[in-house]
Amino acid sequence: MSSQLVWRCWMHEQGGRIVNVSSVGALVPEPNIRWYNGTKPAILPLTRQLAQELAPGVTVNCVAPGIIKTDMSRALWEKNEDALAATVPVKRLGLPDDISSAIAFLASDQAAYVTGQTLTIDGGITLGDGLVSGELA
Which residues make Cβ contacts (< 8 Å) with residue 10, sequence separation at least 6? 16
Question: How wide is the angle at C-alpha 23 spanned by C-alphas 46 and 77, nearest 5°?
Answer: 165
Name the nearest CA neighbour of 114 among 4, 46, 19, 15: 19
Is residue 113 annotated as part of the catalytic site, yes or no? no
- Which among 36, 74, 82, 95 is annotated as catalytic? 36
Distances (CA, A) of 11 to 63, 79, 118: 21, 44, 21
Residues annotated as catalytic (active site), given as ranges: 36
